[in-house]
Amino acid sequence: GQNIDQPTEMTATEGAIVQINCTYQTSGFNGLFWYQQHAGEAPTFLSYNVLDGLEEKGRFSSFLSRSKGYSYLLLKELQMKDSASYLCAVRGGSYGNKLVFGAGTILRVKS
């Protein structure tokens, strides 16, 4: 099976940098996704990693280490609108090509 762990909640200050970690155990691996979900809304796609290393997209970056079963999402220059839940999802393993999601990390940005 698959197991995905993320911290439940984090708090950070506007303008700062925050790193949200995700660790996973899977019998197969075919990519890791990060989604952002504001309260009461649908998840929206942020990033995709399938090879080791860092993918940068503006203020958001995502890192993957397949050997360690580890990823992080880095948010720079935090804004109040970044307050949301961040979902880590892994493709592969017992559910074939489908995604398995972690429970999500609630990020609160304070002024």
Q: Which residues contact other proteins by CB under 8 A? A: 31, 33, 35, 41-45, 48, 50, 87, 89, 91, 95, 97-104
* Nearest to other proteins of 69, 102 (CB atom): 102
**Minimum distance between the CB of residue 4 and other proteins, rounded to whole angstroms?**
8
Place of tokens 């940098």: 17
**Minimum distance between the CB of residue 79 and other proteins, rounded to whole angstroms?**
21
102 contact partners, CB below 8 Å, separation of at least 6: 4, 5, 6, 22, 24, 87, 88, 89
**Minimum distance between the CB of residue 16 and other proteins, rounded to whole angstroms?**
26
* Nearest to other proteins of 10, 99 (CB atom): 99
**C-alpha–C-alpha distance, residues 22 and 13, integer Å:** 21
Place of tokens 């429970």: 103
